Amino acid sequence: MARPTLIAAERRPTRQIHVGSVAVGGGAPISVQSMTITKTADVEGTLAQIYALASAGADIVRCTCNEKEAAEGLAHIVPRSPVPIIADIHFHHEMALAALEAGVQGLRLNPGNLRKEAEIKQVAQEAKDRGVPIRIGVNAGSLHPDLYKRFGGATPEALVESARMELAYFAEVDFDDVKISVKASSVPLMIEAYRLASETFDHPLHLGVTEAGPPPAGLVKGTAGIGTLLAEGIGDTIRYSLTADPVEEVRAGRQLLEAMGLRERKSVDLIACPSCGRAEIDVIGVARAAQEALESRQLPIQVAVMGCVVNGPGEAREADLGIAAGRRRGHLFIKGKIVRVVPEDEMVAALVEEAEKLVAEGIEARLAAADAGAEAEAEADRRMLIEAKGEDANHSAQKVELIRKTIDEGHEPPATSTDLPA
Protein backbone atom coordinates (compact mmCIF):
# COMPACT_ATOMS: atom_id res chain seq x y z
CA MET A 1 0.00 0.00 0.00
CA ALA A 2 3.06 2.24 -0.04
CA ARG A 3 3.12 5.17 -2.43
CA PRO A 4 6.27 6.28 -4.32
CA THR A 5 7.95 9.58 -3.51
CA LEU A 6 6.77 12.51 -5.61
CA ILE A 7 9.95 14.51 -5.14
CA ALA A 8 12.43 14.66 -8.00
CA ALA A 9 15.06 16.77 -6.21
CA GLU A 10 17.53 14.97 -4.00
CA ARG A 11 17.51 16.02 -0.36
CA ARG A 12 20.21 18.50 0.55
CA PRO A 13 22.94 16.66 2.48
CA THR A 14 23.36 17.89 6.05
CA ARG A 15 25.12 16.85 9.19
CA GLN A 16 22.97 14.88 11.63
CA ILE A 17 21.95 15.75 15.16
CA HIS A 18 19.77 13.89 17.67
CA VAL A 19 16.94 15.40 19.65
CA GLY A 20 16.64 12.66 22.22
CA SER A 21 15.95 9.52 20.22
CA VAL A 22 14.91 11.42 17.07
CA ALA A 23 17.56 11.85 14.37
CA VAL A 24 17.36 15.12 12.43
CA GLY A 25 19.25 15.68 9.18
CA GLY A 26 21.83 13.45 7.59
CA GLY A 27 19.22 11.54 5.60
CA ALA A 28 16.93 10.83 8.57
CA PRO A 29 13.16 10.93 7.90
CA ILE A 30 11.80 14.47 8.00
CA SER A 31 10.31 14.96 11.46
CA VAL A 32 7.12 16.77 12.47
CA GLN A 33 7.12 19.20 15.37
CA SER A 34 4.53 21.23 17.23
CA MET A 35 4.31 23.30 20.40
CA THR A 36 2.06 23.07 23.43
CA ILE A 37 -0.23 26.01 24.18
CA THR A 38 -0.78 25.12 27.83
CA LYS A 39 1.01 26.71 30.76
CA THR A 40 4.09 24.52 31.21
CA ALA A 41 3.64 24.79 34.98
CA ASP A 42 0.38 22.85 34.48
CA VAL A 43 2.10 19.49 34.33
CA GLU A 44 -0.94 17.27 33.80
CA GLY A 45 -2.56 19.59 31.26
CA THR A 46 0.68 19.91 29.32
CA LEU A 47 1.30 16.17 29.36
CA ALA A 48 -2.23 15.54 28.11
CA GLN A 49 -1.56 17.84 25.17
CA ILE A 50 1.84 16.24 24.48
CA TYR A 51 0.20 12.80 24.36
CA ALA A 52 -2.47 14.12 21.97
CA LEU A 53 0.25 15.56 19.73
CA ALA A 54 2.25 12.33 19.81
CA SER A 55 -0.87 10.32 18.95
CA ALA A 56 -1.47 12.60 15.96
CA GLY A 57 2.07 11.95 14.70
CA ALA A 58 4.35 14.53 16.34
CA ASP A 59 7.96 13.39 16.60
CA ILE A 60 9.13 16.30 18.78
CA VAL A 61 7.22 18.77 20.96
CA ARG A 62 8.32 22.21 22.15
CA CYS A 63 7.20 23.75 25.44
CA THR A 64 7.72 27.31 26.60
CA CYS A 65 10.12 27.87 29.47
CA ASN A 66 9.46 31.47 30.38
CA GLU A 67 9.43 31.37 34.18
CA LYS A 68 10.69 29.39 37.15
CA GLU A 69 7.41 27.48 37.48
CA ALA A 70 7.66 26.42 33.82
CA ALA A 71 11.19 25.06 34.36
CA GLU A 72 9.98 23.18 37.41
CA GLY A 73 7.10 21.80 35.37
CA LEU A 74 9.54 20.53 32.74
CA ALA A 75 11.32 18.49 35.40
CA HIS A 76 8.07 16.53 35.83
CA ILE A 77 7.06 16.54 32.15
CA VAL A 78 10.25 15.37 30.43
CA PRO A 79 10.50 11.92 32.08
CA ARG A 80 6.82 11.20 31.37
CA SER A 81 6.72 12.49 27.79
CA PRO A 82 6.36 9.97 24.92
CA VAL A 83 8.45 12.23 22.63
CA PRO A 84 11.53 14.44 23.08
CA ILE A 85 10.87 17.88 24.56
CA ILE A 86 12.47 21.13 23.40
CA ALA A 87 12.41 24.17 25.71
CA ASP A 88 11.54 27.46 24.03
CA ILE A 89 13.68 30.26 25.46
CA HIS A 90 13.16 34.03 25.14
CA PHE A 91 15.11 36.88 26.77
CA HIS A 92 16.36 35.07 29.88
CA HIS A 93 19.35 32.76 29.50
CA GLU A 94 18.84 31.42 33.03
CA MET A 95 15.63 29.79 31.77
CA ALA A 96 17.75 27.84 29.26
CA LEU A 97 20.07 26.72 32.06
CA ALA A 98 17.10 25.70 34.18
CA ALA A 99 15.54 23.77 31.29
CA LEU A 100 18.79 21.87 30.86
CA GLU A 101 18.66 20.99 34.55
CA ALA A 102 15.11 19.74 33.98
CA GLY A 103 16.44 17.27 31.41
CA VAL A 104 15.04 18.65 28.13
CA GLN A 105 16.35 17.05 24.95
CA GLY A 106 16.72 20.33 23.06
CA LEU A 107 16.70 24.12 23.31
CA ARG A 108 15.41 26.78 20.97
CA LEU A 109 17.13 30.17 21.23
CA ASN A 110 16.04 33.31 19.37
CA PRO A 111 19.09 35.46 18.52
CA GLY A 112 16.82 38.48 18.27
CA ASN A 113 15.94 38.55 21.95
CA LEU A 114 18.80 36.69 23.66
CA ARG A 115 21.66 38.96 22.66
CA LYS A 116 24.46 39.00 25.26
CA GLU A 117 27.47 37.15 23.91
CA ALA A 118 28.62 35.84 27.29
CA GLU A 119 25.19 34.43 28.10
CA ILE A 120 24.85 32.78 24.71
CA LYS A 121 28.23 31.10 25.11
CA GLN A 122 27.36 29.95 28.62
CA VAL A 123 24.20 28.26 27.39
CA ALA A 124 26.06 26.66 24.48
CA GLN A 125 28.74 25.34 26.81
CA GLU A 126 26.16 23.82 29.16
CA ALA A 127 24.31 22.26 26.22
CA LYS A 128 27.57 20.84 24.90
CA ASP A 129 28.44 19.32 28.26
CA ARG A 130 25.06 17.57 28.37
CA GLY A 131 24.92 16.54 24.69
CA VAL A 132 21.81 18.64 24.08
CA PRO A 133 21.30 20.27 20.65
CA ILE A 134 20.18 23.86 20.12
CA ARG A 135 17.99 25.31 17.40
CA ILE A 136 18.99 28.78 16.33
CA GLY A 137 15.49 30.13 15.76
CA VAL A 138 15.77 33.30 13.69
CA ASN A 139 12.47 35.13 13.18
CA ALA A 140 11.85 38.02 10.79
CA GLY A 141 9.54 39.63 13.34
CA SER A 142 12.19 39.78 16.09
CA LEU A 143 15.37 40.42 14.15
CA HIS A 144 18.19 42.21 16.00
CA PRO A 145 17.80 45.98 15.38
CA ASP A 146 21.40 46.27 14.16
CA LEU A 147 20.79 43.71 11.45
CA TYR A 148 17.48 45.28 10.52
CA LYS A 149 19.26 48.61 10.02
CA ARG A 150 22.29 47.12 8.29
CA PHE A 151 20.30 45.20 5.68
CA GLY A 152 17.46 47.68 5.32
CA GLY A 153 14.83 45.38 6.76
CA ALA A 154 14.12 41.72 7.38
CA THR A 155 15.72 40.41 4.20
CA PRO A 156 16.83 36.83 3.48
CA GLU A 157 20.42 38.02 3.92
CA ALA A 158 19.63 39.56 7.31
CA LEU A 159 17.97 36.39 8.58
CA VAL A 160 20.85 34.19 7.47
CA GLU A 161 23.41 36.59 8.91
CA SER A 162 21.64 36.42 12.27
CA ALA A 163 22.07 32.64 12.28
CA ARG A 164 25.69 32.93 11.14
CA MET A 165 26.53 35.30 13.99
CA GLU A 166 24.98 32.92 16.54
CA LEU A 167 26.95 30.03 15.07
CA ALA A 168 30.13 32.07 15.47
CA TYR A 169 29.43 32.44 19.20
CA PHE A 170 28.83 28.70 19.46
CA ALA A 171 32.07 27.98 17.61
CA GLU A 172 34.04 29.81 20.28
CA VAL A 173 33.06 27.09 22.76
CA ASP A 174 33.37 24.38 20.11
CA PHE A 175 29.64 23.67 19.99
CA ASP A 176 28.08 22.66 16.67
CA ASP A 177 25.18 20.36 17.66
CA VAL A 178 22.82 22.78 15.92
CA LYS A 179 19.83 23.05 13.64
CA ILE A 180 18.69 26.34 12.13
CA SER A 181 15.42 28.05 11.23
CA VAL A 182 14.95 31.37 9.43
CA LYS A 183 11.20 31.87 9.67
CA ALA A 184 9.01 34.68 8.39
CA SER A 185 5.27 35.25 8.09
CA SER A 186 5.79 36.25 4.45
CA VAL A 187 5.92 33.10 2.33
CA PRO A 188 8.19 34.54 -0.41
CA LEU A 189 10.62 35.89 2.22
CA MET A 190 10.61 32.59 4.08
CA ILE A 191 11.33 30.61 0.91
CA GLU A 192 14.20 32.84 -0.17
CA ALA A 193 15.70 32.89 3.33
CA TYR A 194 15.74 29.09 3.54
CA ARG A 195 17.18 28.78 0.04
CA LEU A 196 20.03 31.05 1.08
CA ALA A 197 20.46 29.20 4.37
CA SER A 198 20.70 25.89 2.51
CA GLU A 199 23.55 27.33 0.44
CA THR A 200 25.28 28.81 3.50
CA PHE A 201 25.09 26.10 6.18
CA ASP A 202 25.38 22.33 6.31
CA HIS A 203 23.34 22.18 9.50
CA PRO A 204 19.85 20.63 9.36
CA LEU A 205 17.06 23.14 8.70
CA HIS A 206 13.76 23.40 10.57
CA LEU A 207 11.07 24.72 8.19
CA GLY A 208 8.09 26.88 9.04
CA VAL A 209 6.03 29.91 8.09
CA THR A 210 5.70 31.72 11.40
CA GLU A 211 2.41 33.26 12.52
CA ALA A 212 0.62 31.72 9.55
CA GLY A 213 -2.75 32.34 11.20
CA PRO A 214 -5.91 30.23 11.49
CA PRO A 215 -6.98 27.59 8.94
CA PRO A 216 -7.67 27.51 6.09
CA ALA A 217 -5.44 30.48 5.18
CA GLY A 218 -2.75 29.39 7.65
CA LEU A 219 -2.70 25.90 6.16
CA VAL A 220 -2.34 27.34 2.67
CA LYS A 221 0.54 29.61 3.66
CA GLY A 222 2.31 26.88 5.60
CA THR A 223 1.95 24.39 2.77
CA ALA A 224 3.07 26.91 0.15
CA GLY A 225 6.27 27.65 2.03
CA ILE A 226 7.13 24.25 3.48
CA GLY A 227 6.00 22.26 0.45
CA THR A 228 7.97 24.40 -1.99
CA LEU A 229 11.20 23.91 -0.06
CA LEU A 230 10.65 20.19 0.51
CA ALA A 231 10.12 19.77 -3.23
CA GLU A 232 13.53 21.39 -3.73
CA GLY A 233 15.15 18.94 -1.30
CA ILE A 234 15.47 21.54 1.48
CA GLY A 235 14.35 20.81 5.03
CA ASP A 236 14.91 18.23 7.74
CA THR A 237 12.11 18.94 10.22
CA ILE A 238 8.92 21.00 9.94
CA ARG A 239 6.25 22.81 11.91
CA TYR A 240 2.98 24.41 10.83
CA SER A 241 2.40 27.51 12.98
CA LEU A 242 -1.39 27.72 13.12
CA THR A 243 -3.76 29.72 15.27
CA ALA A 244 -5.60 26.54 16.18
CA ASP A 245 -5.41 23.40 18.27
CA PRO A 246 -1.78 22.27 17.85
CA VAL A 247 -3.03 18.80 16.95
CA GLU A 248 -4.09 20.39 13.65
CA GLU A 249 -0.48 21.45 13.10
CA VAL A 250 0.71 17.88 13.48
CA ARG A 251 -1.98 16.44 11.22
CA ALA A 252 -1.12 18.98 8.54
CA GLY A 253 2.58 18.20 8.81
CA ARG A 254 2.07 14.45 8.63
CA GLN A 255 -0.36 14.72 5.74
CA LEU A 256 2.00 16.95 3.79
CA LEU A 257 4.94 14.57 4.21
CA GLU A 258 2.80 11.53 3.38
CA ALA A 259 1.26 13.24 0.34
CA MET A 260 4.73 14.07 -0.97
CA GLY A 261 5.99 10.56 -0.33
CA LEU A 262 8.51 11.77 2.26
CA ARG A 263 7.18 9.73 5.17
CA GLU A 264 5.61 6.31 5.27
CA ARG A 265 1.84 6.60 5.29
CA LYS A 266 0.30 6.12 8.72
CA SER A 267 -3.03 7.83 8.14
CA VAL A 268 -5.82 7.54 5.62
CA ASP A 269 -5.44 9.30 2.27
CA LEU A 270 -9.05 10.06 1.33
CA ILE A 271 -9.86 10.99 -2.24
CA ALA A 272 -13.30 11.91 -3.56
CA CYS A 273 -14.85 12.88 -6.88
CA PRO A 274 -16.09 16.47 -7.23
CA SER A 275 -19.61 15.19 -8.05
CA CYS A 276 -21.46 15.48 -11.35
CA GLY A 277 -24.87 15.16 -12.97
CA ARG A 278 -24.96 11.44 -12.26
CA ALA A 279 -24.20 11.66 -8.53
CA GLU A 280 -26.69 9.76 -6.37
CA ILE A 281 -25.55 11.13 -2.98
CA ASP A 282 -24.21 14.23 -1.27
CA VAL A 283 -20.58 13.43 -2.11
CA ILE A 284 -19.22 16.29 0.00
CA GLY A 285 -21.23 15.21 3.05
CA VAL A 286 -20.31 11.54 2.75
CA ALA A 287 -16.64 12.34 2.14
CA ARG A 288 -16.58 14.59 5.20
CA ALA A 289 -18.26 11.95 7.37
CA ALA A 290 -15.82 9.31 6.14
CA GLN A 291 -12.84 11.57 6.82
CA GLU A 292 -14.03 12.27 10.36
CA ALA A 293 -14.66 8.57 11.03
CA LEU A 294 -11.30 7.44 9.62
CA GLU A 295 -8.85 10.17 10.62
CA SER A 296 -8.49 9.01 14.23
CA ARG A 297 -7.61 5.50 13.07
CA GLN A 298 -4.01 4.91 12.05
CA LEU A 299 -4.83 3.23 8.72
CA PRO A 300 -2.13 3.63 6.04
CA ILE A 301 -4.39 3.21 3.01
CA GLN A 302 -5.99 5.28 0.26
CA VAL A 303 -9.80 5.43 0.42
CA ALA A 304 -12.10 6.77 -2.30
CA VAL A 305 -15.63 8.19 -2.02
CA MET A 306 -17.29 8.32 -5.44
CA GLY A 307 -20.63 9.85 -6.33
CA CYS A 308 -21.93 7.20 -8.71
CA VAL A 309 -21.47 3.55 -9.62
CA VAL A 310 -21.15 4.09 -13.36
CA ASN A 311 -17.58 5.32 -13.42
CA GLY A 312 -16.60 5.45 -9.74
CA PRO A 313 -15.01 2.02 -9.19
CA GLY A 314 -13.12 2.27 -12.47
CA GLU A 315 -11.89 5.82 -11.97
CA ALA A 316 -10.73 4.99 -8.43
CA ARG A 317 -9.39 1.51 -9.17
CA GLU A 318 -5.94 2.45 -7.85
CA ALA A 319 -7.39 3.23 -4.40
CA ASP A 320 -6.98 0.48 -1.83
CA LEU A 321 -10.63 0.80 -0.88
CA GLY A 322 -13.61 2.83 -1.99
CA ILE A 323 -17.36 3.18 -2.10
CA ALA A 324 -19.64 4.46 -4.86
CA ALA A 325 -23.36 5.29 -4.70
CA GLY A 326 -26.19 3.92 -6.82
CA ARG A 327 -29.92 3.38 -6.33
CA ARG A 328 -29.71 4.33 -2.63
CA ARG A 329 -27.02 1.75 -2.08
CA GLY A 330 -23.28 1.85 -1.76
CA HIS A 331 -20.94 -0.33 -3.79
CA LEU A 332 -17.87 -1.16 -1.72
CA PHE A 333 -14.82 -1.95 -3.85
CA ILE A 334 -11.20 -2.97 -3.29
CA LYS A 335 -8.75 -2.06 -6.06
CA GLY A 336 -11.75 -1.52 -8.37
CA LYS A 337 -13.39 -4.90 -7.62
CA ILE A 338 -16.85 -4.82 -6.02
CA VAL A 339 -16.88 -6.81 -2.77
CA ARG A 340 -20.11 -5.70 -1.04
CA VAL A 341 -23.33 -3.78 -1.67
CA VAL A 342 -24.73 -1.97 1.38
CA PRO A 343 -27.68 0.36 2.14
CA GLU A 344 -26.97 4.05 1.63
CA ASP A 345 -27.27 4.88 5.34
CA GLU A 346 -24.60 2.27 6.13
CA MET A 347 -22.04 3.45 3.59
CA VAL A 348 -19.66 5.20 5.98
CA ALA A 349 -19.89 2.50 8.65
CA ALA A 350 -19.23 -0.21 6.06
CA LEU A 351 -16.27 1.77 4.70
CA VAL A 352 -14.71 2.08 8.15
CA GLU A 353 -15.30 -1.59 8.96
CA GLU A 354 -13.74 -2.74 5.69
CA ALA A 355 -10.80 -0.33 6.07
CA GLU A 356 -9.89 -1.84 9.43
CA LYS A 357 -10.19 -5.39 8.07
CA LEU A 358 -8.15 -4.48 5.00
CA VAL A 359 -5.26 -3.21 7.11
CA ALA A 360 -5.45 -6.19 9.46
CA GLU A 361 -5.86 -8.94 6.84
CA GLY A 362 -4.45 -7.57 3.57
CA ILE A 363 -5.92 -6.96 0.13
CA GLU A 364 -5.87 -10.53 -1.16
CA ALA A 365 -7.67 -11.87 1.91
CA ARG A 366 -10.40 -9.25 1.67
CA LEU A 367 -10.88 -9.86 -2.05
CA ALA A 368 -11.27 -13.54 -1.29
CA ALA A 369 -13.92 -12.67 1.31
CA ALA A 370 -16.07 -10.70 -1.17
CA ASP A 371 -19.82 -11.30 -0.98
CA ALA A 372 -21.09 -13.75 -3.59
CA GLY A 373 -23.22 -11.93 -6.13
CA ALA A 374 -21.93 -8.47 -5.18
CA GLU A 375 -20.58 -7.76 -8.64
CA ALA A 376 -23.83 -8.86 -10.29
CA GLU A 377 -25.87 -6.62 -7.98
CA ALA A 378 -23.55 -3.73 -8.69
CA GLU A 379 -23.79 -4.22 -12.45
CA ALA A 380 -27.59 -4.25 -12.25
CA ASP A 381 -27.55 -0.96 -10.36
CA ARG A 382 -25.11 0.46 -12.89
CA ARG A 383 -27.29 -0.50 -15.87
CA MET A 384 -30.44 0.96 -14.28
CA LEU A 385 -28.64 4.23 -13.57
CA ILE A 386 -27.45 4.46 -17.16
CA GLU A 387 -31.00 3.79 -18.41
CA ALA A 388 -32.37 6.50 -16.11
CA LYS A 389 -29.76 9.18 -16.81
CA GLY A 390 -28.14 8.07 -20.04
CA GLU A 391 -24.58 7.20 -20.89
CA ASP A 392 -23.64 10.88 -20.92
CA ALA A 393 -25.31 12.48 -17.90
CA ASN A 394 -23.01 15.49 -18.11
CA HIS A 395 -23.68 16.05 -21.83
CA SER A 396 -19.95 15.85 -22.48
CA ALA A 397 -20.34 14.56 -26.04
CA GLN A 398 -22.58 17.50 -26.94
CA LYS A 399 -20.06 19.92 -25.46
CA VAL A 400 -17.24 18.27 -27.40
CA GLU A 401 -19.14 18.71 -30.65
CA LEU A 402 -19.69 22.40 -29.88
CA ILE A 403 -16.01 22.80 -29.08
CA ARG A 404 -15.00 21.18 -32.35
CA LYS A 405 -17.43 23.33 -34.31
CA THR A 406 -16.15 26.48 -32.63
CA ILE A 407 -12.52 25.60 -33.33
CA ASP A 408 -13.20 24.50 -36.91
CA GLU A 409 -15.07 27.72 -37.68
CA GLY A 410 -12.31 29.76 -36.11
CA HIS A 411 -9.73 28.08 -38.38
CA GLU A 412 -11.47 28.58 -41.76
CA PRO A 413 -8.95 29.80 -44.33
CA PRO A 414 -9.05 33.56 -44.98
CA ALA A 415 -10.82 34.74 -48.09
CA THR A 416 -8.60 35.24 -51.20
CA SER A 417 -8.87 38.05 -53.68
CA THR A 418 -10.79 35.83 -56.09
CA ASP A 419 -13.41 35.18 -53.39
CA LEU A 420 -14.11 38.87 -52.81
CA PRO A 421 -17.02 40.56 -54.64
CA ALA A 422 -16.07 42.77 -57.57
* 204: CATH: 3.20.20.20
110 and 249 both lie in a single domain: yes
289 and 207 both lie in a single domain: no
Contacts (Cβ under 8 Å, ≥6 apart) of 314: 336
228 and 376 both lie in a single domain: no
Order of strands, edge to edge, in the sheet holding 60-64? 178-183, 134-139, 106-109, 85-89, 60-64, 31-35, 237-238, 206-207
240 and 351 both lie in a single domain: no
Instruction: Compute the mean pLDDT over every residue in the chain, rounded to the nearest whole number.
Output: 88
Would the pLDDT of 349 be above 60? Answer: yes
312 and 235 both lie in a single domain: no
pLDDT higher for 44 or 382? 44
Asked if residue 398 is part of any domain, the answer here is no
Distance CA 313, CA 39 (A): 50
The secondary structure of 251-298 as a DSSP string is HHHHHHHHHTTSS---S-EEEE----TT--S-HHHHHHHHHHHHTTS-
Q: What is the pLDDT of residues 284-335, one digit of tens each?
A: 888 888 888 888 787 888 888 887 766 667 777 788 998 887 667 888 999 9
- Residue 265 banded pLDDT, cuts 50, 70, 90: confident
Asked if residue 198 is part of any domain, the answer here is yes
Would the pLDDT of 420 be above 50? Answer: no
pTM over 0.75: yes
CATH number of the domain enclosing 369: 3.30.413.10
What is the reported pLDDT for 277? Answer: 59
Looking at 60-64, 104-108, 367-371, 405-409, which range is the least confident one?
Answer: 405-409
What is the reported pLDDT for 411? Answer: 64
Crossing angle of helices 117-130 and 93-102, rounded to 10° = 10
What is the reported pLDDT for 403? Answer: 73
What is the reported pLDDT for 422? Answer: 42
* H-run or E-run covering 176: none
192 and 339 both lie in a single domain: no
CB 102 within 8 A of CB 74: yes
pLDDT higher for 386 or 88? 88
327 and 241 both lie in a single domain: no
- Residue 381 banded pLDDT, cuts 50, 70, 90: confident
Amino acid type, 24? V
Distance CA 134, CA 108 (A): 6
Q: What is the pLDDT of residues 119-159, one digit of tens each?
A: 999 999 999 999 999 999 999 999 999 999 999 999 999 99
What is the reported pLDDT for 301? Answer: 87
Question: Given 210, 235, 259, which residue is the final one in a domain?
Answer: 259
Distance CA 340, CA 296 (A): 24
Looking at 37-41, 106-110, 342-346, 398-402, which range is the least confident one?
Answer: 398-402
Asked if residue 318 is part of any domain, the answer here is yes
249 and 285 both lie in a single domain: no
Would the pLDDT of 417 be above 80? Answer: no
What is the reported pLDDT for 421? Answer: 45
What is the reported pLDDT for 416? Answer: 53
Q: What is the pLDDT of residues 90-101, one digit of tens each?
A: 889 999 999 999
Coil/strand/helix, residue 373: coil
246 and 317 both lie in a single domain: no
Q: What is the pLDDT of residues 164-208, one digit of tens each?
A: 999 999 999 999 999 999 999 999 999 999 999 999 999 999 999
**293 is in which domain, residue-wise?**
269-389
Question: Given 196, 224, 259, which residue is the final one in a domain?
Answer: 259
Coil/strand/helix, residue 98: helix
Distance CA 193, CA 164 (A): 13
For the chain, percent of residues with pLDDT exceeding 70: 90
**∠ at Cα 47 (44, 51), nearest 5°?**
140
